[in-house]
Amino acid sequence: MNFIDEKYINLYSPRLQKFAKKKKGLYNFRCPYCGDSQKDKNRARGFFFQKNSDYIYKCHNCGVGRSLSNFLKDHDVTLHDQYVMERFKSGTTGKATNVATPKLNFTKPKFNVKPFNLPRISELNTTHPAREYLEQRQIPARFLKDLYYCESFKKWTNEQKESFDDVKNDEPRIIIPLRDRDGIIGFQGRALNPKSKLRYITIMLNEEAPKVYGMDRIDKEKTVYIVEGPFDSTFIKNCVSLCGSDGNLACLEGSDKVFVYDNEARNKDIVGRVEKCIDRGERVVIWPKNIKEKDINEMFLAGHDVQTVVESNTYSSIEATIKLTDWKRV
Strands lying side by side in the sheet with 239-242: 212-213, 239-242, 224-227, 257-259, 283-285, 314-315
Confidence (pLDDT) at 51: 87
Alpha helices in the chain, H assignment, sequence order: 2-12, 68-75, 77-89, 129-136, 141-144, 153-160, 268-279, 296-301, 306-312, 317-327
Cα dihedral value 205, 206, 210, 211, nearest 10 = 10
326 by DSSP, 3-state: which? helix
In angstroms, the CA 162 to CA 174 distance is 19
Confidence (pLDDT) at 110: 55
- The boundaries of every CATH 3.40.1360.10 domain in the chain are 210-330
| pLDDT at residue 114 tops 50 | no
- The boundaries of every CATH 3.90.580.10 domain in the chain are 2-89
For 168, list phi and psi in degrees, rounded to 5: -70, 160
pLDDT in tens, 181-215: 888 999 999 999 999 999 999 999 998 888 999 99
Please state which CATH class domain 118-209 belongs to.
alpha beta
pTM for this entry: 0.66
pLDDT in tens, 164-181: 999 998 999 999 999 988
What are residue 183's DSSP bridge partners? Answer: 180
Cβ neighbours for 81, distance < 8 A, ≥ 6 positions apart: 102
Tell me what the mean pLDDT of segment 10-32 comes to.
93
In angstroms, the CA 202 to CA 205 distance is 10
Q: Is 151:139 a contact under the CB 8 Å cutoff?
A: no
When pLDDT is cut at 50, 70 and 90, the band that residue 250 belongs to is: confident
Burial class of residue 21 (count of CB atoms within 10 Å of its CB; 0-12, 13-18, 19+): middle
In angstroms, the CA 325 to CA 308 distance is 22
Confidence (pLDDT) at 57: 95
Please state which CATH class domain 210-330 belongs to.
alpha beta
Q: Is 170:158 a contact under the CB 8 Å cutoff?
A: no
The domain covering 2-89 belongs, at the CATH homologous superfamily level, to Zinc finger, CHC2-typedomain (3.90.580.10)
When pLDDT is cut at 50, 70 and 90, the band that residue 1 belongs to is: low
- The boundaries of every CATH 3.90.980.10 domain in the chain are 118-209
The residue count of the chain comes to 330
| pLDDT at residue 111 tops 90 | no
Confidence (pLDDT) at 109: 57
Strands lying side by side in the sheet with 173-180: 148-150, 173-180, 183-191, 200-204
Q: Is 203:154 a contact under the CB 8 Å cutoff?
A: no
